[in-house]
Structure 1
Amino acid sequence: MTASLPADSLRRDLELALRLADAADAESLARFDSADLEISTKADNSHVTDADLATERAIRSILETERPDDGIFGEEYGAQGSTHRQWIIDPIDGTANYLRGVPLWGTMIALAIDGVPQVGVVSMPALQRRWWASAGSGAWTATDGEPRPLKTSSVASLDDASVSFQSIAQWSDAGHLDTLLALAGRVWRDRAYGDVFAYMLLAEGRLDMVAEFDVKEYDIAAAVPIVREAGGRMTSFDGDETISARSTLATNGILHDDFLSFLHD
């Protein structure tokens, strides 16, 4: 897959992130929909498969060789090293889909510098899709053809917006079920596309808002530069510019303040 790469100081980091995604795809796709997939339950009652673990190990092995001074923060094996330059990894975002043979899952790879994601790659090999971005160099996607730039939608009214809310239970557990119902009654269309795919649909201009709760840094870091470079905004649900607030609100940019006002009215 040919990538459009920046000419700035992040070029080598993005090149590496794309190679990391290649290594991750080789691990995860080989085990997808396997009859002998090994599944266990973590302390937080979420599932993990042998593919999650193998995929993160493959990424870490390359980073430890090629970026020994950088830190790593992965979902399955935790954090190590520097937080100045830190690679943030979700080896398989959408494990619940993965273990059921649903192709809506992907690997998320980000490089954060002083806590701000500057490079992001999302790869969904079961869909043969990939998205990537680095700060100041635009956001891109490709299947088998030439890369094309990403651009968020130009929708300028909540009444015309299409949104993804991830899950009813998630909003209910966060104490925002009434807000979700009010949102569904206001916008043009509401669906729960789920996980990283929803953010990529936003970056492509196919959705206008994505929001979720109980998220860790590795759940959203790779999406941040992609959404922002496509013209959108990502903040916490309360509007803070951070990936550590355990919530996220992503929009096409135009509607961000309107969504914040509506959701907190």
Structure 2
Amino acid sequence: MLDYDDDLRLAHALADAADALTMDRFQAMDLAVETKPDMTPVSEADKAAEEALRDRLQQARPQDAILGEEYGIEGSGPRRWVIDPIDGTKNYVRGVPVWATLIALMEEGEDGFRPVVGVVSAPALGRRWWAARGAGAYTGTSLDSGTRIRVSGVNRLQDASFAYSSLSGWEEQGRLGGFLDLTRACWRTRAYGDFWPYMMVAEGSVDICAEPELSLWDMAALAVVVEEAGGFFTGLDGVPGTNSGNAAASNGLLHGELLDHLDRRS
């Protein structure tokens, strides 16, 4: 088993740096916000956080590649850091505290790149989650004071809590019928959105979650936390990992039923 302790400590240090920058500008009246070509917002804090993390990584891991949402890919090789400086920018710019910095390390293997370290830091919520491959998943305020987390044992859909982001994406992909059937079959549904449902799956407070369209930087850190907590993280096609352009996460016991519902097109 490979030891990722040094990489995990670096990821926490990166998260600390990002938290300081993002919290300094959170709810600032003069926050500058632009619209990207894909019509999604980007704030000055998104850009500043990613630039800071890239600078630190170039110093600490000059041999590793870096992929970030705002500035793309830099470098090459078998190790790649993947950064989403603010996951939940729409929340961030409106003053909603549900947003996080996502930091992952991916390594190349026989089946391509897979995440081996992940840190999810949500400073406005006062929460942080992390994991390293083979070492379990944790939550807490720092690496040295974490509590191990585990997915739930719920094994019936009618007892399950299902979290999602919004309805529009499911409708655009022609999957709304299966999605609505799933919401009716579950005990409880909530649209928490972005990173948070996946972390709730990892700590057992939510049982299943899914999104119809995501980028690698949205998923890499989340996937390793969910999997190390004992859960499943796949695409809607059931392929494990982060390469399907969408995601389904569960406690494992309900994954088949989750995919069966969301694969229905109507």
TM-score, normalised via structure 1 length: 0.95
| Cα distance in 2 for residues equivalent to 1:146 and 1:232 | 23
| Cα distance in 2 for residues equivalent to 1:205 and 1:83 | 36
| Cα distance in 1 for residues equivalent to 2:251 and 2:39 | 33
**Residue 210 of structure 1: CA displacement?**
0.9
The secondary structure found in structure 1 opposite 2:128 is strand
Instruction: Give the stretch that moved more between structures: 246-255 or 47-56.
Output: 246-255
The question of whether the paired residues in 1 share the 8 Å contact of 2:175 and 2:263 is answered with no
| Cα distance in 2 for residues equivalent to 1:99 and 1:179 | 32
- 2:33 paired residue number: 39
| Cα distance in 2 for residues equivalent to 1:104 and 1:47 | 16
- 1:121 paired residue number: 119
- 1:10 paired residue number: 4
| Cα distance in 2 for residues equivalent to 1:52 and 1:165 | 23
How is 1:30-69 mapped onto 2 (pairs within 5 angstroms)? 30-69=24-63
Counterpart check, 1:235 vs 2:234: yes
- 2:198 paired residue number: 199
- 1:3 paired residue number: none
Say if 1:65 and 1:143 are closer, same or farther in 2 by CA, change over 3 A: closer
Counterpart check, 1:213 vs 2:212: yes
* TM-superposition CA deviations, 1:4-26 (whole Å, max 9, x none): xxx95211110100100011101
Which residue, out of 129, 132, 143, partners 1:131?
Answer: 129
Counterpart check, 1:103 vs 2:101: no
Say if 1:75 and 1:164 are closer, same or farther in 2 by CA, change over 3 A: same
The question of whether the paired residues in 1 share the 8 Å contact of 2:103 and 2:120 is answered with yes
**Residue 51 of structure 1: CA displacement?**
0.2
Q: Percent identity?
A: 47
Which residue, out of 85, 99, 109, partners 2:79?
Answer: 85
**Residue 182 of structure 1: CA displacement?**
0.6
TM-score, normalised via structure 2 length: 0.94
| Cα distance in 2 for residues equivalent to 1:261 and 1:44 | 30
| Cα distance in 2 for residues equivalent to 1:165 and 1:138 | 25
| Cα distance in 2 for residues equivalent to 1:138 and 1:11 | 12
**Residue 173 of structure 1: CA displacement?**
1.4
- 2:138 paired residue number: 140
Instruction: Give the stretch that moved more between structures: 15-24 or 238-247.
Output: 238-247
**Residue 159 of structure 1: CA displacement?**
1.1
Whichever residue aligns with residue 155 of structure 1, its letter is V
| Cα distance in 2 for residues equivalent to 1:12 and 1:80 | 22
Whichever residue aligns with residue 97 of structure 1, its letter is N
| Cα distance in 1 for residues equivalent to 2:77 and 2:248 | 24
The question of whether the paired residues in 1 share the 8 Å contact of 2:46 and 2:85 is answered with yes
The secondary structure found in structure 1 opposite 2:155 is coil
| Cα distance in 2 for residues equivalent to 1:153 and 1:180 | 22
| Cα distance in 2 for residues equivalent to 1:35 and 1:100 | 10
| Cα distance in 1 for residues equivalent to 2:260 and 2:193 | 24
The question of whether the paired residues in 1 share the 8 Å contact of 2:160 and 2:186 is answered with yes
| Cα distance in 2 for residues equivalent to 1:221 and 1:187 | 27
Structure 1 portions without partners, runs of 5+: 1-6
Whichever residue aligns with residue 199 of structure 2, its letter is M
The secondary structure found in structure 2 opposite 1:59 is helix
